[in-house]
Structure 1
Amino acid sequence: MKSTIKYLVLVVFALSIFNCDNDDGDPVTSPNEDVCNYQGLTALINNTHTLIPEAELQTDFFPNNDGPGIPAVEVFYTTNPGSTFIVTRAVTLGAVDSNPEIKIDDVDYSGVITCQRAGSAVGDELRFDILLDNGYEAELCVIIDDVNP
Structure 2
Amino acid sequence: MKNIFKMLMLFCVCIACNNDDDVNNDATNQTQCNYQGFSYLDASNNDQTLIAETELNTQFFPNASNGPYGAPGIEIVSNTSTPSLFFVTNVIALNQTGTGYLTLDNGQEQTVTVTCQRAGTAVGDEIRLDVVYGNIEVEFCVIIDEVVL
TM-score tier by shorter-chain length is: 0.5 to 0.7
What residue in structure 2 maps to residue 121 of structure 1? 122
Q: CA 1:65–1:81 in structure 2 vs 1: closer, same or farther (change >3 Å)?
A: farther
Structure 2: gaps spanning 5 or more residues: 1-16, 42-47
1:56 paired to 2:52: no
Structure 1: gaps spanning 5 or more residues: 1-19
**Aligned letter for 1:103?**
T
What residue in structure 2 maps to residue 37 of structure 1? 34
Residue 26 (structure 1) shift: 6.8
Residue 84 (structure 1) shift: 0.7
CA deviation profile, 1:27-80 (whole Å, cap 9, x unmatched): 9xx9x8353231000158xxxx76111000000001114569941000011405
Q: Does the CA-based 8 Å contact 1:35-1:117 persist in structure 2?
A: no
Q: Does the CA-based 8 Å contact 1:34-1:116 persist in structure 2?
A: no
Q: CA 1:81–1:147 in structure 2 vs 1: closer, same or farther (change >3 Å)?
A: farther
TM, length-normalised to structure 1: 0.67
CA distance in 2, matches of 1:82, 1:39: 16
TM, length-normalised to structure 2: 0.67
Q: How many residues align?
A: 122
What residue in structure 2 maps to residue 83 of structure 1? 84
CA deviation profile, 1:104-137 (whole Å, cap 9, x unmatched): 344432220000000010000000100113x111
CA distance in 1, matches of 2:82, 2:90: 20
Q: CA 1:70–1:22 in structure 2 vs 1: closer, same or farther (change >3 Å)?
A: same
- Give the match's secondary structure for 1:55: helix
Percent identical pairs in the alignment equals: 44
Q: CA 1:39–1:50 in structure 2 vs 1: closer, same or farther (change >3 Å)?
A: closer
Q: Does the CA-based 8 Å contact 2:122-2:147 persist in structure 1?
A: yes
CA distance in 1, matches of 2:50, 2:73: 23
- Give the match's secondary structure for 2:54: helix
Residue 81 (structure 1) shift: 9.8
